[in-house]
Amino acid sequence: MINSNIRQMTRIEYIMKYASLVIEVCKNTAFFPSVMMAQALLESSSKEGTPGASLLASKYNNHFGIKAHKSWKGQKVALSTEEFLNGAMKAVKAWFRVYENTYQSFADRVQVILRNPRYRNGGVFKTSNANEQALAIQRSGYATDPNYAAKLIAIIRRHKLEDLDKKVRIGPSDLPTHGTST
């Protein structure tokens, strides 16, 4: 559960470390790996901007700030966080999910969005590119920060995360051929 063997990483190191995990959990879903990686970079960063170094990510393996609502049956921890409320950032206490390992956090992030109808109703699964998906995730209420989508899009662009999307999309060479015998 508690990950105390954390070395501070740069954003590039974080991307390299978790790229294959992001691609794996996004396969056969409507999620753009670039958006997921941008969220992980943003949500897991310390106040100094070091990815994976927030208390929630480094100690409790929660890289997405996923809250532990009443339906959550796993371990949880109460931590201070900042939420954008009534036009201003405010410090609040919230319950967050605790994971045994990083993989569980990434896989659960996919399940949280797939299972919650607000994301389907918000058009998250009907987007044709990463920018649209980032906007749909914000519209659906994933984060309270009114600049959340803009931050994700800036991270995607800065680190060329669209390259991750190409690894889960079916290209012409991946389509089955018809009328040929093997």
Q: Is 108 a catalytic residue?
A: yes
**Residues present in the chain in total:** 182
Q: Select from 22, 60, 68, 24 the least CA-distant residue to 41.
A: 22
Q: Which two tokens stand for residue 26?
A: 């996004």
> What is the separation of C-alpha 12 from the centre of its chain, rounded to a whole number of angstroms?
16
- Torsion angle defined by CA atoms of residues 62, 66, 70 and 73, in that order, rounded to the nearest 10 degrees: -40
* Residue from 13, 43, 82, 83 carrying the catalytic annotation: 83
Helix-then-strand count for the chain, H and E: 8, 2
Q: Is 83 a catalytic residue?
A: yes
DSSP at 45: -
DSSP notation for 47-105? TT--TT-SHHHHHH--SS--B--TT--S-EEEEEEEEEETTEEEEEEEEEE--SSHHHH
* Residue from 13, 43, 48, 108 carrying the catalytic annotation: 108
Would you name the residues annotated as active-site residues?
Answer: 83, 108
